[in-house]
Amino acid sequence: MNNLLNKIINDTKIYANQGEVATYIPELSKMNKNISGIVVVDMENNIYSAGDTNIKFTIQSMSNIVTLILALMDHGEKVFDKVGKEPSGDPFNSLKRLTNINTHKPFNPMINAGSITITSMVKANNKEERIERIIKLIKDLSGNKDIEINMDVYNSELKTGDKNRSIAYFLKDKNILEGEVCDVLDTYFKQCSIEINCFDLANIGATLANDGISTISGKRIVPSEYATIAKAFMFTCGMYDDSGEFAVEVGIPAKSGVSGGIFCSVPNKMGIGVLGPSLDKKGNSIVGIEMLKILTNEKKLCIFN
Amino acid sequence: MNNLLNKIINDTKIYANQGEVATYIPELSKMNKNISGIVVVDMENNIYSAGDTNIKFTIQSMSNIVTLILALMDHGEKVFDKVGKEPSGDPFNSLKRLTNINTHKPFNPMINAGSITITSMVKANNKEERIERIIKLIKDLSGNKDIEINMDVYNSELKTGDKNRSIAYFLKDKNILEGEVCDVLDTYFKQCSIEINCFDLANIGATLANDGISTISGKRIVPSEYATIAKAFMFTCGMYDDSGEFAVEVGIPAKSGVSGGIFCSVPNKMGIGVLGPSLDKKGNSIVGIEMLKILTNEKKLCIFN
Amino acid sequence: MNNLLNKIINDTKIYANQGEVATYIPELSKMNKNISGIVVVDMENNIYSAGDTNIKFTIQSMSNIVTLILALMDHGEKVFDKVGKEPSGDPFNSLKRLTNINTHKPFNPMINAGSITITSMVKANNKEERIERIIKLIKDLSGNKDIEINMDVYNSELKTGDKNRSIAYFLKDKNILEGEVCDVLDTYFKQCSIEINCFDLANIGATLANDGISTISGKRIVPSEYATIAKAFMFTCGMYDDSGEFAVEVGIPAKSGVSGGIFCSVPNKMGIGVLGPSLDKKGNSIVGIEMLKILTNEKKLCIFN
Amino acid sequence: MNNLLNKIINDTKIYANQGEVATYIPELSKMNKNISGIVVVDMENNIYSAGDTNIKFTIQSMSNIVTLILALMDHGEKVFDKVGKEPSGDPFNSLKRLTNINTHKPFNPMINAGSITITSMVKANNKEERIERIIKLIKDLSGNKDIEINMDVYNSELKTGDKNRSIAYFLKDKNILEGEVCDVLDTYFKQCSIEINCFDLANIGATLANDGISTISGKRIVPSEYATIAKAFMFTCGMYDDSGEFAVEVGIPAKSGVSGGIFCSVPNKMGIGVLGPSLDKKGNSIVGIEMLKILTNEKKLCIFN
């Protein structure tokens, strides 16, 4: 497997030139678009890796899976009274569908409108406690106790967060978002600024692949049914408005972030974490997708085969 | 004329039951929906009136004409680089078209997205100075030196302004709105909370009908070309998404506010101010429109006849 | 006046290069984009002209005013149960708003969806009779007995009419359009292919400006109230999704066609017909608009002055 | 298994009252909403069944999977130059997204706009040959040589097909649809009118579950890669705009039709065919979904477990 991963790293380097590093958050634009890394963790906790696997980057919208799990643990499926389950076919940060439909209910928990709403549903006495719960679950899912927020990215998010403010006030006006808009967005910007690496992503994916039980500690981190729901949303909505394409061309549950990371959860087989900061037009890692195509094909991971 | 106005007041009272007082701002919902008033001021400054003409109410989006004139005086037609000239066919507070079109440029200066942008273009060193300039122009247009802000309505607007916050942050994100969102909205909420009565509205209409020259003081308040532009926008966009209906059924330049006021400017003939707090579904005064239909018909005011 | 018109023709020739002749109907693309003409007919039937005034061209969507008048004469304002009165802010041949709103009622009688519906409402025993009634009214409005259909353009419309077919079947499915889609579209394509020249357009405009009474024959052609409605729609929706711009910058009732013609109706003053086949992006004659700007400015025709 | 299926039939009968039989095609509205049936075919061609399994009904949009496979066999993945791969979040017969996006490319091959385009891509010398190829593939997939068209339903589709005509002419205008609109729609209406029963549906599902090889004949019917693509689209777009809900709550590849049938393909495990003509608001069989929920739960079929 390590040989395969090394080959994958080498064979996909060239794709980095076809995209660009995210620029809408200044801090993200500092990343080197030519780095790439991949980590695989199987159900026996064997770890395989290649490339730039120790580089830290922010979790961005990959955190949406974490907050969704927390909200489900807090409220059960009542979460879906506020947020739908359907792919939207629109860019993740779009207000278009939200303003076009009569209910104004966010289409799913993966687009910004949905994930901001989900964040507001994570129970806590105050915003400090809310972000602590989110960090705690990421630590448990990844088995890494040193998870923390990158404050430079957080400050960068604060400065460029007007689109998310527009979305949040829209949801507040429609009584979908509860609580103070400023507090909810503070948590949201912080959760997106949590730093992880490819090992963390692979471990998060492995825990979900293993029915919610950590392959490191053997402890149940997530109830089985919510691990299933998390994988379902990763599959249908995890790759922004390219999720359908990814389902056809790759075919495994995956969640992407604009930092260039993707984590995957192949049921009962493995967790995968990849990094490649060069993004395509939909906001997904170009090199990351190419790596996953090869790995999925070689190891016959597609869930429809 | 006074007899006609009294008859109009009596004959249109019954329409008040067909609508409702605006409720989205709690302070507005306190108005009595059965009051109504009408004032006409002609080009020789003759004043005719009937009904509840001394009742004060807030100017709401009728202030958009005032800020448009100020922005035109400050920037000339460069104003239209930021805001379009087309009726949108959508409700005044809609985000729908804004998010659906590629330019994200507000359709016109009368809908909220456009008028918030226009407010941001009124030159001033700070928000205090900006609102002072707006109040000053309303004083000059109406010939009333006692114009001031109703602070209860202002506070009410502040509490329920989330839709406008959503719009403003959207425009900020698209680089259409300049300056601090909070400052611009503070001015916007204040300008909407300025108190006037039917005499003030009729005088504002008369000044614009008289090519921008006050019929009271004889002084030019608005350059001729901007008085024309103001009347054009009143005609095409002044009655929200009922402007086309009003153009066909009444046919004079008019601007409506959700407080139930409407002011009209019949070129070279008269200014008209009406009040009737009961609103139709589009947000226009039901009694007000009925009064204007009779008056326009009796006095052959339609600009196409 | 003739001197002024000659000067206008010369001063606006240069604008032809800024646009393109309509190409979506092959037959229209054969027009020479450098020709231009202007005709003015006043209320005393004085006729002034300059430029290429004898060139024939098809009436295209300028015919929408004619069918609207016929439908009003047949059904009164019940016409508006099927078609609205609001400018849409969208291109004339758009399906966007139609599919986005819940009623699916065409916004106004000037966009294709509305005008196709209006055509279906012109009473007739069969499609031959329907088109004859339309031609008859154009003859009466223009005082020209030699009006006929250009069959080459008609055949060209037939071949390229898929967008209109899509619109018509959509309206049929929503029970807005009655009758056979094929028959209605046959009439619609024929009415658009009726040939006129600048004199005809000026005379149509003059008849409407003169309250519906022909300045040639002195006979009433259109009931006063429907002449007023026609002018109102020309003003609010006559120049496609540039009607708001035209209202602010020119300010007279006008209806445009993609052949490059525009006819105007200045109430109680004059009818104007212009031709200039080079179109801007909205589908209006570039040279035509420039000619109207100068004429309106010189003769103070803007209805808000 | 047969006991389980009988229990499922009994336990889900009550749900029929919560919905209605499709009425938009008169012929469909004649179905009895209280019938229901279920058939399971495993990879060893064992057949289990319960309920009204011999009742024939039309395949409707379940045929979209068949034409997609044919188009892929004819053109490979070039099919996706014309039709996208993303769930749209909109009703299957919507024109909304199509008119709102700049490319006007149908979102996916399962909504009407996409499936009409796919039908036009099935290679044939004429429309008779095209429908024959479609029927032939259904015979091969189901192992049933007696598949034929229900001409009453076909005639009913012809009469009520205006929405599809509108879609097809829209696509023709945008150069997405090739060939004659009438011919393509004739094939489309016919393919929707093909009659099958629950056994046929289960066998089609089993063939796709078995990597494209018939569990009856052992012959390869569909290339492996296209069987995978078919299952991917069933999963992401197979249940109309309820596909995301179904992915979370059931979690197997399935394709629904408005006749009340659903066929499922559980990779390497089984094909399932269900019938229940009572539909929910999205157009899916209410009883069918309830049956699949129980079966999937009991047999742990969810692809994420």
- Distance between CA atoms of residues D292 and D21, nearest Å: 19
| Cβ within 8 Å, pair B304-C231 | yes
**Among D96, D98, D166, beta carbon nearest to C169:** D166
Residue A28 has a pLDDT of 83
Residue B55 has a pLDDT of 95
Instruction: Report the 10 Å Cβ neighbour count for C159.
Output: 12
pLDDT, one tens digit per residue, over D27-42 is: 888 899 999 999 999 9
| In the predicted structure, residue B101 carries a pLDDT above the cut 90 | no
Average pLDDT of A265-291?
97
| Cβ within 8 Å, pair D169-C162 | yes
Q: What is the SS3 assignment for A72? A: helix
Choose from A88, A93, A99 for mutation: most chain B CBs within 10 A: A99
What band does B29 get if pLDDT is binned at 50, 70 and 90? Answer: confident
Residue A268 has a pLDDT of 98
Q: How distant is the Cα of A169 from the closest Cα of chain B, in angstroms? A: 5
Cβ neighbours of A108 in D, within 8 Å: 244
Average pLDDT of every residue of chain D: 95
Average pLDDT of every residue of chain B: 95
| In the predicted structure, residue A233 carries a pLDDT above the cut 90 | yes
Contacts of B126 (CB under 8 A, 6+ apart): B183
| Cβ within 8 Å, pair D95-C170 | yes
Lowest mean pLDDT among A2-16, A101-115, B154-168, C127-141: A101-115
| In the predicted structure, residue C140 carries a pLDDT above the cut 80 | yes
Cβ neighbours of B170 in A, within 8 Å: 95, 162-163, 166
Lowest mean pLDDT among C21-30, C149-158, C171-180, D8-17: C21-30
Cβ neighbours of B232 in C, within 8 Å: 247-248, 251, 304
Average pLDDT of D61-80?
98
| Cβ within 8 Å, pair A96-B94 | no
Question: What's the token pair of residue B37?
Answer: 């008033």
Choose from C86, C226, C237, C239 for mutation: most chain B CBs within 10 A: C86
Residue A98 has a pLDDT of 75
Question: What's the token pair of residue D37?
Answer: 């049936």
Residue B25 has a pLDDT of 81
Question: What's the token pair of residue B200?
Answer: 């003030």
Contacts of B144 (CB under 8 A, 6+ apart): B196, B199, B200, B203
Residue D90 has a pLDDT of 79
| Cβ within 8 Å, pair B169-A173 | no
| Cβ within 8 Å, pair D237-A231 | no
Residue D25 has a pLDDT of 81
**What is the model's pTM?**
0.94
Question: What's the token pair of residue D44?
Answer: 């060893």
Q: How distant is the Cα of D61 from the closest Cα of chain C, in angstroms? A: 19
Residue A95 forms contact with B (CB below 8 Å): yes
Interface of D with A in 263-292 (CB under 8 A): 267-268
Q: How distant is the Cα of B224 from the closest Cα of chain C, in angstroms? A: 9
Residue B274 has a pLDDT of 98
Residue C94 has a pLDDT of 78
| Cβ within 8 Å, pair A165-B169 | yes
**Among B99, B100, B165, beta carbon nearest to A169:** B165
Angle at B216 between CA B210 and CA B217, to 5 degrees: 100
pLDDT, one tens digit per residue, over D118-161 is: 999 999 999 999 999 999 999 999 999 999 999 999 999 999 99
Residue D23 has a pLDDT of 86
Neighbours of chain D (3+ CB pairs under 8 A): A, C
What band does C128 get if pLDDT is binned at 50, 70 and 90? Answer: very high
Give me the DSSP letters along A189-244.
Answer: HHHHTBEE-HHHHHHHHHHHHTTTB-TTT--B-S-HHHHHHHHHHHHHHTTGGGHH
Residue D172 forms contact with C (CB below 8 Å): yes
Neighbours of chain A (3+ CB pairs under 8 A): B, D
Residue C33 forms contact with B (CB below 8 Å): no
In the chain, the amino acid numbered A212 is: G
- Distance between CA atoms of residues D161 and C80, nearest Å: 27
Instruction: Report the 10 Å Cβ neighbour count for C62.
Output: 29
Quote the percentage of chain B above a pLDDT of 90. 90
pLDDT, one tens digit per residue, over B193-213 is: 999 999 999 999 999 999 999
Cβ neighbours of C235 in B, within 8 Å: 235, 247, 304
pLDDT, one tens digit per residue, over B248-271 is: 999 999 999 999 999 999 999 999
Q: Which residues are paired to C263 by β-bridges?
A: C255, C273
Neighbours of chain C (3+ CB pairs under 8 A): B, D
DSSP state, residue B85: -
- End-to-end, the C-alpha distance of chain B in Å comes to 21
| Cβ within 8 Å, pair B304-C245 | no
Q: Which of D207, D238, D237, D206 is nearest to D222 (CA)?
A: D207
Residue D286 has a pLDDT of 97
Give me the DSSP letters along C6-35.
Answer: HHHHHHHGGGGGGSB---SSGGGGGS-TT-
Average pLDDT of every residue of chain A: 95
Residue A90 has a pLDDT of 79
- Distance between CA atoms of residues A169 and A190, nearest Å: 18
Question: What's the token pair of residue A90?
Answer: 């629109």
Residue A133 has a pLDDT of 98
Question: What's the token pair of residue C137?
Answer: 């009214």
Q: Where in A52-209 does DSSP place strands (E)?
A: 57-58, 195-196
What band does B99 get if pLDDT is binned at 50, 70 and 90? Answer: confident
Residues found in chain D: 305
Residue B261 has a pLDDT of 98
Checking ipTM against 0.90, whether it exceeds it is: yes
Cβ neighbours of D162 in C, within 8 Å: 169-170, 172-173, 181
| In the predicted structure, residue D196 carries a pLDDT above the cut 90 | yes
| Cβ within 8 Å, pair C245-B97 | no
DSSP state, residue B192: H
| In the predicted structure, residue A95 carries a pLDDT above the cut 80 | no
Q: How distant is the Cα of D133 from the closest Cα of chain C, in angstroms? A: 28
Give me the DSSP letters along D204-267.
Answer: HHHHHHTTTB-TTT--B-S-HHHHHHHHHHHHHHTTGGGHHHHHHHT-S-EEE-TTSEEEEEET
Which single residue is written with the structure tokens 């600009």? B303
| In the predicted structure, residue C172 carries a pLDDT above the cut 90 | yes
| CB-CB contact of C71 with C65 (8 Å) | no
Average pLDDT of A266-278?
98
| CB-CB contact of A264 with A252 (8 Å) | yes
- Distance between CA atoms of residues C106 and C85, nearest Å: 9
- Distance between CA atoms of residues A20 and A280, nearest Å: 7
Residue D159 forms contact with C (CB below 8 Å): no
Closest chain A residue by Cα to residue B170 = A166
What band does A91 get if pLDDT is binned at 50, 70 and 90? Answer: confident
pLDDT, one tens digit per residue, over C50-100 is: 999 999 999 999 999 999 999 999 999 999 999 999 998 777 777 777 777
pLDDT, one tens digit per residue, over A137-187 is: 999 999 999 999 999 999 999 999 999 999 999 999 999 998 999 999 999
| Cβ within 8 Å, pair B245-C89 | no
Question: What's the token pair of residue B277?
Answer: 């707090």
Taking only Cα atoms into account, the Rg of chain A, rounded to an integer number of angstroms, comes to: 18
- Distance between CA atoms of residues C301 and C271, nearest Å: 11
Query: A133-148 burial, b if ≥16 CB within 10 A, otherwise e?
Result: bbbebbbbbbbbeebe
Sign of the CA dihedral with C189 first, then C190, C195, and C199 last: negative
| In the predicted structure, residue A8 carries a pLDDT above the cut 90 | yes
Element (H, E) at A49: strand A47-51
Which single residue is written with the structure tokens 């990849």? A274
Interface of C with D in 182-221 (CB under 8 A): none
| In the predicted structure, residue D207 carries a pLDDT above the cut 80 | yes
Residue C95 forms contact with B (CB below 8 Å): no
DSSP state, residue A160: T
**Among C244, C253, C268, beta carbon nearest to B86:** C244
Instruction: Report the 10 Å Cβ neighbour count for A32.
Output: 12
Average pLDDT of C191-197?
98
Q: Please give the domain boundaries of chain B with CATH numbers for all domains.
A: 2-60+195-298 (3.40.710.10), 61-192 (3.40.710.10)
